[in-house]
Structure 1
Amino acid sequence: MNVSKREEEYLEAMYILHKNKGVIRVKDIARMMRVKPPSVVDALKKLSEKGLIEYEKYDRILLTNEGRRIAEDTYSKHLLLTQFFTDILGIPRETAERDACQFEHYVSGITVKRIREFAQFIQEECPYVLKQFLKEKLVEKEEPE
């Protein structure tokens, strides 16, 4: 199924809301995605037509199995990339979050797998080298540009 980047973002937002609040509401999606409620309703209709959510106006919103799978996959990539950017590359958390939000929609499964394997390898086999790298990056940040 062809799902757009924006649709993945909506599914991920719904997944996070359900995970954290137990309920998915239009106003919460709108707040989380920084859009107006009518935009959310339009997106929900499209996602419902694709069979990724169950949605009826003024009723509950639920992810279908396929919608949940896409959302979990996207969210998993987001977490991995954020952790990689912060823990391995020493990128500030806010920047790492923002970048992960973009990368997660375009990175392939093999790249995700290799990033995960590389992060595990460098943390387990080369912790001293990683600490040195990160220490140097912290020094770079402190120097005026």
Structure 2
Amino acid sequence: MKIQESAENYLEMILMLKERSGQVRSIDIAHELGYTKPSVSVAMKRLRENDYIAIDEDGYITLQTSGLEIATQVYERHQILSQLLMALGVSEETALKDACRIEHDISDESYQRLKEYFERHKGR
């Protein structure tokens, strides 16, 4: 399932905020990403219309099954790629920024090989 990079970023942020604080609202996403509330509201409307998220009457956002699958995949890629880059000696700040860029464009095949390599060699 391929969606736009910006949608992947929103879904990943919802997952991260949910893990951090237990609940997520549009304003939380806006603050975390430095976006305006209206921009986030438009994005949330699109994600809701495509059944990636649900928003309750109090404005709390939950990931639907398809949204959770995408968010989990992107978040895992981000974690593995940033850890791999740091293991190679890249500074944490740069590794986190670069992983965010790479996670959306890397092929599944290349990502799987990097992940397998990292898993075999971490802790050495």
Please, what TM-score do these two structures have when normalized by structure 1?
0.80
Tell me the distance in 2 between the aligned counterparts of 1:117 and 1:104: 16
Is contact 1:45–1:55 with CA below 8 Å preserved after alignment?
A: no
Tell me the CA shift for residue 122 of structure 1.
3.5
Secondary structure of the residue that 1:104 maps to in structure 2? Answer: helix
Detail structure 1 runs of 4+ shifted over 2 Å in the superposition: 55-59, 120-124
Tell me the distance in 1 between the aligned counterparts of 2:62 and 2:19: 12
Give the stretch that moved more between structures: 22-31 or 115-124.
115-124
Tell me the distance in 1 between the aligned counterparts of 2:84 and 2:50: 33
What do residues 23-47 of structure 1 show as CA deviations (whole Å, max 9, x unaligned)?
0111110011110111100000000
Aligned residues: 124
Please, what TM-score do these two structures have when normalized by structure 2?
0.92
What do residues 6-35 of structure 1 show as CA deviations (whole Å, max 9, x unaligned)?
000000000000111110111110011110
Aligned to 2:37: 37
Matching residue's letter, 1:31: H
Tell me the distance in 2 between the aligned counterparts of 1:40 and 1:57: 17
Identity of aligned residues (%): 33
Q: Which has the higher contact order (CA 8 A, sep 6+)?
A: 2
Tell me the distance in 2 between the aligned counterparts of 1:112 and 1:41: 32
Secondary structure of the residue that 1:51 maps to in structure 2? Answer: coil
Residue 61 in structure 1 maps to residue 61 in structure 2: yes
Cα RMSD for the two superposed structures: 1.5
Gaps of 5+ in 2: none
Secondary structure of the residue that 1:105 maps to in structure 2? Answer: helix
Secondary structure of the residue that 2:104 maps to in structure 1? Answer: coil
Tell me the distance in 2 between the aligned counterparts of 1:27 and 1:91: 33
Aligned to 1:97: 96
Aligned to 1:74: 74
Give the stretch that moved more between structures: 47-56 or 4-13.
47-56
- Describe how 1:1-145 pairs up with structure 2 within 5 A: 1-55=1-55, 58-87=58-87, 89-123=88-122, 127=124
